[in-house]
Structure 1
Amino acid sequence: MSAVVAVSRSATHTFTKPAQRSIRLLTGLGVEGDAHAGTTVRHRSRVAKDPTRPNLRQVHLISQELLGELGELGYRVGPGELGENVTTSGLDLVALPTDTLLVFPGGAAVRVTGLRNPCHQINRFRPGLLGQVIGRDDRGEVVRRAGIMGVVVQGGEIRPGDTITVELPTAPHSPLVVV
């Protein structure tokens, strides 16, 4: 069963986001009170390039399973510490196709837009961690494991313990790419 492990937000552009008892998603905007909420890009690097681009990164999700793998490699990382808003369990997030809908019991729904592109800030948080969340497969293709991004298509509240219903888009499916 897919479920929410933790929810986090930060009103400022901090790398780590403190855990919350719940977060409220706002349709078309993102997480209420989070620095990355908005209809246009909010991530500093993207604002510098073109502040008028649509915000496809309103909500960041990462799996508890990845955090566990990192822990086994000696990188102790807790929920929210990589900047995610929602930490999940029981769901292979990076394997989902583009436009998958994630639905939560409080009515909130997030449409998956793409992969998070991890940056050098991860190494400032834990030296060497970037090499664990981005790498290459057997064919030499870049593999990103630092979670996925989405937009809010239906507002509502999300809490730890909530189940996650996955609604796949109509086939053919498109693999996730960096947004």
Structure 2
Amino acid sequence: MAVGEIIGINISERRGTQKKEISEVDLVKGFGLENDAHGGNWHRQVSLLSFEKITEFNERGARVGNGAFGENIIVSGVDLRQLPVGSQIRIGQAELVVTQIGKECHKHCQIYARVGDCIMPREGIFAVVVVAGHIKKGDKLEVV
């Protein structure tokens, strides 16, 4: 079982706006992060990205902050990209199931326009909430 740590939690109150960092949130079954504009009854309720991948990207001169890629949860210690669809993730009492690895980027984001690359389409993963729970920065994330 792989174990990581939650480094950041980000939400946006409206679609099309940058996510802002928060210290804790409720994960709502069948929805995603409470008050996040991208939550809902669909297969990409929660987006996750590895802290190490963000760090590597920034070391190439990008200088992007938490939430800039649209990620909800930043995790250290687990290479999320290696998890297959169907993987179960537990954070405290909450449980997620991975539904998608990466995503197609139909139009390039501001990061791509500025730097010429974006890691979310190939490194980000998406999940649905199957068991509700409260999470906070510093919590352990376990791949079951």
Report the Cα distance in structure 2 between the residues aligned to 1:11 and 1:132, rounded to whole angstroms.
23
- State the match for 2:128 in structure 1: 151
Q: Report the RMSD for the aligned CA atoms in angstroms.
A: 1.9
Aligned to 2:30, the other structure's residue is in SS state coil
Task: State which of 86, 90, 109 in structure 1 corresponds to 2:77.
Answer: 90
Gap regions ≥5 residues in structure 2: none
1:125 Cα deviation (Å)?
A: 3.3
Structure that is richer in strand per residue? 2
Runs of 4+ in 1 over 6 A off after TM superposition: none
Give 1:166's aligned amino acid.
Answer: V
CA contact (8 A) 2:112 2:118 kept: no
Give TM-score, length-normalised by structure 1. 0.73
- Which of these residues, 98, 103, 114, is aligned with residue 100 of structure 2? 114
Task: Give the AA of the match of 2:35.
Answer: G
Write the mapping of 1:28-177 to structure 2, written as runs, cut at 5 A: 28-39=30-41, 55-105=42-92, 107-117=93-103, 119=105, 120-122=107-109, 124-127=110-113, 129=115, 131-133=117-119, 144-145=122-123, 147-167=124-144
Which blocks of at least 5 consecutive residues in structure 1 are unaligned?
40-54, 135-142, 168-179
Q: Secondary structure at the match of 1:111?
A: strand
Matches of 1:101 and 1:65, distance apart in 2: 21
Q: How many residues align?
A: 141
Kindly name which structure, 1 or 2, has the bigger radius of gyration based on alpha carbons: 1
Q: Which residue of 2 aligns with 1:13?
A: 15
Indicate how the Cα distance of structure 1 residues 78 and 101 shifts in structure 2: closer, same or farther if over 3 A, else same. same
Identity of aligned residues (%): 33
Q: TM-score scaled to structure 2, two decimals?
A: 0.89
SS in 2 for 1:165: strand
Q: How big is the shift at 1:133? A: 2.5
